Amino acid sequence: MKKTLSVLMLSLLPGLAMAAGEHGGHQGHDMAAMQQDMHGIGRPGSSAEVSRTIEVVMSDDMRFSPEQIEVKAGETVRLFIKNPGKLSHELVIGNLSSLQEHAEMMRQMPDMQHAEPNMISLQPGQKGGLVWQFDQAGTIDFACLIPGHMEAGMQGRIQVM
């Protein structure tokens, strides 16, 4: 009986995790929508597959450095991100339209908390990393979606060759 109950509970976990997908108490993306949003921008990568590390600095002058990054199709990179400033910042990978849509949601709900595989939020003085596999050639955008930051110019591009 205990074994059957354990197997039943384990089989329910994925559904419970998807049902719990919220942004700080506000309804978040469902898994299918999130995967559709990521179509064409790649997928979370494995640390074991990282071919190189690219350092990205987020500054209080509302800029990323570098603003332009080049990677090869199929390459898995570690973005090592630093926030040396006095403001919170984030880096979110996506296509420009989805980033603009999410930035608008953030303006409407400025206390929204979110943790998606294509983003990282850093408090002042923090450092962090994001491992991403860029699976097809094209242009991918990234931006800080904290209200006002993207509009002030805090965005960049990744050229996938």
- Nearest C-alpha neighbor of 75 from the set 161, 133, 118, 117: 133
CA angle 40, 43, 44 (to 5 degrees): 160
Indicate the average pLDDT of the chain.
Answer: 79
Q: What is the pLDDT of residue 114?
A: 67
By the 8 A CB rule, do 153 and 135 touch?
no
Give the total residue count for the chain.
Answer: 161
Q: What is the pLDDT of residue 116?
A: 86
pTM of the model: 0.73
133-148: per-residue pLDDT in tens?
Answer: 999 999 999 999 999 9
By the 8 A CB rule, do 125 and 75 touch?
no
Q: What is the pLDDT of residue 112?
A: 67
**Amino acid making up residue 26:** H
Number of domain units in the chain:
1
55: helix, coil or strand?
strand
4-15: per-residue pLDDT in tens?
Answer: 433 334 343 333
Strand 63-65 to 89-94 pairing: unpaired
Residue 62: domain span: 2-160
Q: What is the pLDDT of residue 102?
A: 73
137 or 41: which carries more pLDDT confidence? 137
Q: What is the pLDDT of residue 28?
A: 41
Which stretches of the chain are DSSP H helices?
A: 2-19, 31-38, 96-108
Contacts of residue 156, defined as CB under 8 A and 6 or more positions apart, other chains included, come to 64, 66, 67, 68, 69, 141, 142, 143
79-100: per-residue pLDDT in tens?
Answer: 999 999 999 999 999 998 889 8
Average of pLDDT values for 61-82?
Answer: 97
What's the CATH code of the domain at 71? Answer: 2.60.40.420
103-129: per-residue pLDDT in tens?
Answer: 777 777 767 666 788 999 999 999 999
